[in-house]
Amino acid sequence: MIAPTMPVLTIHHKTEYRYTHPVAFGEHRIMLRPRDGHDLRVVSGHLDIVPEPMSLRWIHDVFGNSVAIATFDARAQTLTFSSTAVVEHNPAEEFALTADDPAYFYPFLYDREEFPDLAQYISPQYGDPGGELSAWARTFLDAEGPTPTFNILSGMTHGIREQFSYRKRHEHGTQHPLDTLQTKSGTCRDYALFMIEALRRLGIAARFVSGYLFIPGDRAHGYAGGGSTHAWVQVYLPSAGWIEFDPTNGIIGTRDLVRVAVARDPRQAIPLHGTYLGSADAFVGMHVSIDVVATGEEVRV
């Protein structure tokens, strides 16, 4: 029997840093290579850096993510990273628990042998002195009797999407979960961290995922679609494993999501970061362009 062909996506990601005059560059860490899984297979990947780095080595970090580390000996007025990856992407169907599964109802217990490895994903990482975040998480529990676990996870995913307003921020990093709750706004990374911390306060293991969002095009009008960097959540359930939830778009499962890295905290899954040697006013700006297109489609110009 011939296995069905998996849909193929090509991801183009280009980042260019510009400076007023040639500067020297420190070490840069690049986390752009998609992460293989049952639903995702990397067919090919290429990383082009200008100026060419003195050395470029690849490692797997503590979470098994693929990381490139570049060092430089040349000065330049621009620094460009161009990544192209081709992946076979076959999103898993939305998961469903049966009444026989140990995690069908909340609360549930994790396996004694798995718990030590999950502890870092169960323990909250951010303060909640007034209990506001814990209180918000408990609103998804049934007042009487056990709550179906899927109802909690689905309720949070869609609740954030419906109740919060997406807002681009120019500040570096991810905002504190309490800021996200109080302002009812944030970026995809803010939403992901907020949901993770809410789940951890219920004792549910959750971790951060960084990757790409595929935006299917409107072929009738000649658009090939596009994409963007994105962030969402993975939740670990007994007998089901790690399941994806995207509170920004209300996606459950991996439809339109291309995973690159997983981490305990967003600070451990930054797509690209590094340093330059020079005055602060030497930096002019950064330009990022991303396209995620299906086989047979053309990249937008």
Residue 197's pLDDT is 98
Asked if pLDDT for residue 221 goes beyond 50, the answer is no
**Average pLDDT over every residue of 144-157:** 94
pLDDT of residue 77: 97
3-state secondary structure (DSSP) of residue 220: helix
| Spatial distance between the Cα atoms of 10 and 225, rounded to a whole number of angstroms | 12
Mean pLDDT calculated for residue range 240-253: 94
Task: Supply the CATH classification number for the domain 8-90+270-294.
Answer: 2.60.40.2250
pTM, rounded to two decimals = 0.92
Which residues are paired to 291 by β-bridges?
12
Which one has a higher pLDDT value, 297 or 141? 141
Where residue 211 falls among pLDDT bands split at 50, 70, 90? very high
CB-count burial class (<10 Å; 0-12, 13-18, 19+) for 78: middle
User: Closest Cα to residue 121, out of 262, 254, 230, 270?
Assistant: 262
Q: Is the dihedral of CA 183, 269, 131, 127 positive or negative?
A: negative
Least confident of 51-55, 92-96, 151-155: 92-96
Domain boundaries, the chain: 8-90+270-294, 105-268
pLDDT (tens digit per residue) in 115-149: 999 999 999 999 999 999 999 999 999 988 899 99
pLDDT of residue 4: 45
Per-residue pLDDT band at 226 (split at 50, 70, 90) = low
99 band by pLDDT with thresholds 50, 70 and 90: confident
Query: What pLDDT is attached to residue 217?
Result: 63
Task: Provide the pLDDT for residue 145.
Answer: 81
CATH tag for 105-268 (out of 3.10.620.30, 3.40.50.300, 3.30.70.2970, 3.30.457.10): 3.10.620.30
Task: For residue 266, give the DSSP letter.
Answer: G
- Dihedrals φ, ψ of 45, to 5°? -150, 140
Within 10 Å of residue 291's Cβ, how many Cβ atoms? 23
Supply the mean pLDDT for the chain: 91
